């Protein structure tokens, strides 16, 4: 059981980064459906960064920068040029898939260099890893996963306990009111996209650098879309996003575990579980009507000062 949960956390990490990233963007009013594309770009950038520099830090930065760059395209088109968010997001996914396939072609079958892999080897956290059960599940992981915990904590504190987070939420709820109080709406949305997109890039980076031993084109495989569903599931709360990612991480490795237990069910049918679960999540979350669980009021609404 502990080993199953520990493996679920590994499978949950890419989802966690992407979900928190998308959540930050949505909180500012940007419904960016390009998560899959940003994750793909982060995956290939992380991989190329690792292969080129043999340095884990460079790999992480490249993954972040690629995701942030993708999100900047989105922000420029939707905030400055007021393009339709849904179509722009979809296009970003198509663009990201193309770029990743194109660049990744040369790296097919290559593996992540040793020094980077060594950096992301499992490292127990002194003290915390001695806690029975919890230590084994949460604190005998790799550094990338610990960064994920930190991101959840930082995002929660930032969004709900700081002035910057308040401004960001204000822009997402009611952009014209925020503008009237002197908040620079465009600046806030751009920043939310850069940070959120960067986190999506890191989520992809985890897949490209740590999760798969060799580069393959379909590393992301729909996880970006599951992250979009998880944002709804989490009711725009990073801590619930962590719980949701864990749930989906567990579902994702269920097939493998069932095989080990020699349960006879087709692997392909078990692989459907996360996707079916995402549908169930979307259905349930749109059905409940709790006030605090509603999406930001101005989600996917472009802001024109002229319109007032």
Partner 1 sequence: MKFTPAITQRTGLSTRQSVTYRAIAILLSVVGTGLVLMLFGLNPVRVFGAIIEGSMGTPIRIHQMINSAIPLVISTLGIIVAFKMKFWNIGGEGQIVMGAFGAAFVAYRLPDLPQPLLLLLMAVAAAAAGALWALIPAAFKAKMGTNETIFTLMMNYIAILFVTFLQYGPWKDPARAGFPRMPDFSPNAVLPNLFGNNIGWVIAMILTAFVYVFLSRTKKGYEITVVGESPETARYAGMNIPAIIIVAMAVSGGLCGLVGMIQASAIEKTLTATISAGYGFTAIITAWLARLNAIVALFVCVVFAMLVQGAAFIQLSLGVPAAVAGVVQGTILLFILGSEFFIQFKVRLPERRRRTV
Contact call for residue 258 and partner 1 (CB under 8 A): no
Give the 3-state secondary structure of residue 87: helix
Question: Whole-number minimum distance, CB 196 to partner 1, in Å?
Answer: 18
Question: Rounded to an integer, what distance in angstroms lies between the CA atom of residue 162 and that of residue 181?
Answer: 17
- Tokens 């989105």 found at: 74
d(CA 80, CA 68): 16
Subset of residues 126 to 145 that bind partner 1, contact rule: CB under 8 A: none
CA distance to 23, 208, 234, 278, per residue, from 256 (Å): 30, 20, 26, 19
- Choose which of 6, 58, 72, 83 interacts with partner 1 (CB under 8 A): 83
The residues, any chain, with a CB within 8 Å of residue 130's CB and separated by 6 or more, are none
- In the region spanning residues 223 to 242, those forming contacts with partner 1, defined by CB under 8 A, are 225, 228-229, 232
| Residue 132 or 308 with smaller CB distance to partner 1 | 308
Write the Ramachandran bin of 189: left for phi over 0, alpha for psi from -120 to 50, otherwise beta: alpha
* Chain residues 163-182 in contact with partner 1, contact rule CB under 8 A: none
The answer to whether residue 25 forms part of the interface with partner 1 (CB under 8 A) is no
Single out the segment in contact with partner 1 by CB under 8 A; choices: 46-54, 168-176, 198-206, 270-278: 270-278
Map the footprint of partner 1 across residues 37-66, applying CB under 8 A. none
3-state helix vs strand vs coil in the chain, percent to 5? 75, 0, 25
Binding site for partner 1 (CB under 8 A): 33, 73, 76-77, 81-84, 86-88, 90-92, 94-99, 101-103, 105-106, 222, 225, 228-229, 232, 266, 268-269, 271-272, 275-276, 278-279, 282-283, 286-287, 304, 306
């Amino acid at each position: 059981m502990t080993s199953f949960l520990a493996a679920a956390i590994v499978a949950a990490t890419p989802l966690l980064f992407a979900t928190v990233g998308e959540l930050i963007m949505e909180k500012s009013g940007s419904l960016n459906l390009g998560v899959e594309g940003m994750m793909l770009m982060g995956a290939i950038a992380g991989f190329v960064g690792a292969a080129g520099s043999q340095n884990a830090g460079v790999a992480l930065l490249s993954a972040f920068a690629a995701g942030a760059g993708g999100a900047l395209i989105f922000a420029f088109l939707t905030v400055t040029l007021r393009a339709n968010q849904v179509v722009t997001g979809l296009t970003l996914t198509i663009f990201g898939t193309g770029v990743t396939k194109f660049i990744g072609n040369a790296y097919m079958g290559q593996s992540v260099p040793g020094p980077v892999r060594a950096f992301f080897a499992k490292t127990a956290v002194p003290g915390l890893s001695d806690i029975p059960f919890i230590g084994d599940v949460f604190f005998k992981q790799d550094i990338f996963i610990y960064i994920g915990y930190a991101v959840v904590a930082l995002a929660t504190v930032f969004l709900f306990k700081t002035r910057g987070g308040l401004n960001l939420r204000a822009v997402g709820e009611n952009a014209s009111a925020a503008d009237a109080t002197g908040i620079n709406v465009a600046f806030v949305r751009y920043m939310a996209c850069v940070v959120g997109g960067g986190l999506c890039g890191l989520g992809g980076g985890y897949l490209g650098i740590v999760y798969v031993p060799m580069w393959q084109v379909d590393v992301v495989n729909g996880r970006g879309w599951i992250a979009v569903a998880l944002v709804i599931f989490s009711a725009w709360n990073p801590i619930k996003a962590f719980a949701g990612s864990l749930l989906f991480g567990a579902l994702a490795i269920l097939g493998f575990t069932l095989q080990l237990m020699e349960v006879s069910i087709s692997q392909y049918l078990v692989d459907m579980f996360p996707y079916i679960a995402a549908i169930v999540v979307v259905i349930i979350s749109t059905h409940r009507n709790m006030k605090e669980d509603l999406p930001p009021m101005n989600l996917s609404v472009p802001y024109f000062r002229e319109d007032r």
